[in-house]
Amino acid sequence: MENVKKRILSGIQPSGRLHLGNYLGPLHHWPEMIEEFDCYFFLADLHTITVRQTPAELRKQTLALLAQYIACGLDPEKCVLFIQSHVPAHSQLAWVLNCYTMFGELSRMTQFKDKSAKNADNINAGLFTYPVLMAADILIYQADMVPVGEDQRQHVEICRDIANRFNGIYGDVFKVPEPYIAKVGARIKGLSAPEAKMSKSQPDGCVFLLEKPEDIQRKFKKAVTDSDASVRFDPAAKPGVSNLIQIYAAATGKSFEAIEAEFDGRGYGDFKKTVGDAVVELLRPLREETERLLADKAYLESIYRSGAERAACVANRTLSKVYKKVGFLAR
């Protein structure tokens, strides 16, 4: 009997640029995942509009993110790459699931509270119900597993609750997904605030994947360190230096001990320049490949159209089953 791969689904909102923390974190392991699992990766543009976007910029960022996915090693022949809004079944299933999700469940979601605080002038219904769309994203593909970080665990739990509730009424319609604790890779902190993870909301301390080499070097030159002047891994006492060591280790494959020995007796200026050089070289092929792909719009269009067709084949089967169960007349 053929060994059927388990299915994994994951998406990223095209609301900003990918950075070094994304790349050296979970994204670095995605190419390994496509060898082991049946992978569906999508650009979550429907989720993105819960916060106001500039339309032309959103289209540009969506295409750029698709190019970066491919440049990072996601082979479109080995996984399904698609844009969320190109598969209408996501939204159609989300409406049905809204009718099987309790108001109280959604009101307890911590991300709604966080995003409401950040966008006080635009607390819309989509922001409140987006965990239901997230559940639809997962359940429409009968995904076995969903890669999660700590901040996403609550969304997988509510997805499981909705699936179990629906299955309890109508039988085994949905596969109930398990959280997949993905290899996280290096936990990269911001260069200007090394106590917190690298974030696009602090651009001065954030290294973006498509940045020019001179801009990357400038950011490393200004990276926060300390007055101790010794290159030593000690996250509690030396968060800035320890973060740079971790970045250098991830970029070169060197151990922390080897790095400490390499810079024994050398100043921070030399250290920061060396780390910057290593990151520039790490990102150079990725940046060049992304630029090459973005110059070939026809190719990218063929990828997202083909991906949407492949995704829709699976999604529409699930949606038809759901519609029949709840009592809708077939078309």
Domain-embedded: residue 331: no
Domain-embedded: residue 190: no
In the annotation, is 200 catalytic? Answer: yes
Question: Do 18 and 115 belong together in one domain?
Answer: yes
pLDDT in tens, 1-12: 457 899 999 988
In the annotation, is 212 catalytic? Answer: no
Question: Do 145 and 208 belong together in one domain?
Answer: no
Nearest to 241 by CA among 214, 271, 221: 271
Q: What is the mean pLDDT of residues 118-135?
A: 86
- Report the percent of the chain where pLDDT is more than 70: 95
Domain-embedded: residue 193: no
Contacts of 114 (CB under 8 A, 6+ apart): none
pLDDT band, residue 51 (cuts 50/70/90): confident
Long-range contacts (CB closer than 8 Å, 24 or more residues apart) made by 56-63? 58/14, 58/15, 61/14, 61/15, 61/16, 61/17, 62/14, 63/294, 63/297, 63/300
Q: Residue 274 has which token pair? A: 């060396």
In the annotation, is 115 catalytic? Answer: yes
Q: Residue 7 has which token pair? A: 């299915």
State the average pLDDT for the chain. 91
- Please tell me which residue in 60, 78, 113, 115 is annotated as part of the active site: 115
- Report the percent of the chain where pLDDT is more than 90: 73
pLDDT band, residue 228 (cuts 50/70/90): confident
- Specify the pLDDT at position 185: 63
Q: Residue 161 has which token pair? A: 């609750």
DSSP 141: T
- How far is it, in rounded angstroms, from Cα 33 to Cα 4? 15
- How far is it, in rounded angstroms, from Cα 90 to Cα 20? 30
Question: Do 301 and 283 belong together in one domain?
Answer: no
- Specify the pLDDT at position 83: 98
pLDDT in tens, 132-184: 999 999 999 999 999 876 666 788 999 999 999 999 999 999 999 999 876 65
Nearest to 80 by CA among 286, 308, 237: 308
Distances (CA, A) of 261 to 37, 123, 251, 266, 275: 40, 52, 17, 10, 15
* 3-class SS shares of the chain: helix, strand, coil, % to 5: 55, 10, 35
Domain-embedded: residue 85: yes
Q: Residue 173 has which token pair? A: 């319609």
Phi and psi at residue 145, to the nearest 5°: -145, 155
- Specify the pLDDT at position 1: 46
Contacts of 303 (CB under 8 A, 6+ apart): 66, 70, 76, 81
Domain count for the chain:
2
pLDDT band, residue 225 (cuts 50/70/90): very high
- Specify the pLDDT at position 207: 96
Phi and psi at residue 271, to the nearest 5°: -60, -50
- Please tell me which residue in 6, 78, 189, 200 is annotated as part of the active site: 200
Q: For the whole model, what pTM was predicted?
A: 0.87
Over 80: is that where the pLDDT of 113 sits?
no
Q: What is the CATH number of the domain that holds 84?
A: 3.40.50.620
- Amino acid, single-letter form, for residue 255: S
What is the domain range of residue 253? Answer: 203-291
Over 70: is that where the pLDDT of 254 sits?
yes
Domain-embedded: residue 195: no
* CB 8 within 8 Å of CB 18: no
Question: Do 256 and 110 belong together in one domain?
Answer: no
Domain-embedded: residue 194: no
Question: Do 95 and 231 belong together in one domain?
Answer: no
Question: Do 31 and 136 belong together in one domain?
Answer: yes
* CB 127 within 8 Å of CB 113: no
Question: Do 307 and 283 belong together in one domain?
Answer: no
- Specify the pLDDT at position 280: 97
Domain-embedded: residue 198: no
Q: What is the CATH number of the domain that holds 233?
A: 1.10.240.10
pLDDT in tens, 204-222: 999 999 999 999 999 999 9
Higher pLDDT, 107 or 225: 225
Question: Do 15 and 149 belong together in one domain?
Answer: yes
pLDDT in tens, 150-161: 666 788 999 999
pLDDT in tens, 257-314: 999 999 998 989 999 999 999 999 999 999 999 999 999 999 999 999 999 999 999 9
Question: Do 32 and 78 belong together in one domain?
Answer: yes
Question: Do 92 and 31 belong together in one domain?
Answer: yes
Question: Do 268 and 307 belong together in one domain?
Answer: no
Question: Do 307 and 286 belong together in one domain?
Answer: no
DSSP 10: E
